Amino acid sequence: MKAKKNNKLEASAQANNGAGGVRVIAVGPQIVELLQDDSGFGQRVDIIFQCADIDEWSECDAEQYSADLIIVQCATVFPDTIELIKNRTVAAGAARAIVVYHYTQQKTAVMMEEHVNRLTPLRSPITAADLKSVCEADLAMAEIRNMSLNELSEGESFEPVIEPFLEPVEEEIASRQFSDELLARVSRISTSVECECPHHLASLLLALNAFESYCLQCANRDEKDAMLHALLHRKTASARLIMENALSTLAEAEGFELSE
């Protein structure tokens, strides 16, 4: 079977050089449907190439199409699958590849973690909204990686570091005001606010806490990306402080306790 092209979208992508939307290579039976769902990207995505499965994709010329993002759906993932996806992602000039899978081995899971700068694993089943969120996060990270240090640090007051990857900028980070246990309790309380803002704020803070810890661990683990993750850590901590203050204001207005 020959690889199926979406000629209309491909022509649009080539004519606009990607300006009309995210240029995607879609591999797998459900990826196009998920991307074009109303809760996904809708028609704001240029699917420049699509095929039924990874075997069909492996037989195509990897350098024939240029893309921003590659999304591959496969039931099982093995080391040779990851190598194939990684190599073809590089050949297509894509920033990242998302791998949607059902089953894998521990060895392969570790391999995907080692290639996290290029691959994002996503375990099935997923929704269109799930895929959209991961695509947007991957593209945002790729954009950050492509920005210069001056662009990344715009508006920051610290002095540039001569060897940024070896000596990340030290800056005081505000301590957390609320523990995860307290936030989990707040996420379950009953209030008079019909929109359930306390629940949403608590959930958002839990996610910010988790991502703040994740960035700190990455900064300590990956010397090459140390400054990038240190910056993400500071920005996340700043966002967390703002939302903590917002939760305090809401608690005072609603009359619920934020004590441990």
Would you call the peptide bond into 164 cis, given omega within 30 degrees of 0 as the criterion? no
Domain boundaries in the chain? 7-146, 152-254
Instruction: Compute the radius of gyration of the chain from its Cα atoms.
Output: 21
Tokens of 148: 């210069």
pTM tops 0.75, yes or no? no
pLDDT score for 25: 95
Q: Which architecture does CATH list for 7-146?
A: 3-Layer(aba) Sandwich (3.40)
Distance CA 170, CA 134 (A): 30
Instruction: Give the Cα separation of 55 and 11 in Å (integer).
Output: 25
45-57 pLDDT, tens digit per residue, is 889 999 999 999 9
pLDDT at 99: 95
The beta-strand segments (E) located in the chain are 22-27, 45-51, 69-77, 96-104, 119-123
Comparing C-alpha atoms, which of 199, 210, 203 is closest to residue 236? 210
- What pLDDT score does 223 carry? 65
Q: What pLDDT is attached to residue 233?
A: 84
Assigned token pair, 142: 């790729």
Looking at residue 87, its pLDDT comes to 93
Low-confidence ranges of the chain (pLDDT < 50): 1-19, 147-169
Q: What integer pLDDT is reported at residue 146 of this predicted model? A: 56
pLDDT at 258: 86
What's the token pair of residue 117? Answer: 């700068």
Given this model, what pLDDT does residue 17 score? 38
Token look-up 């996340």 returns 236
**Measured between alpha carbons, how far is 233 from 215 in angstroms, rounded to an integer?**
5
Q: Which of 204, 213, 216 is nearest to 244 (CA)?
A: 204
Under 8 Å between Cβ of 39 and 128? yes
Helix, strand, or coil (residue 4): strand
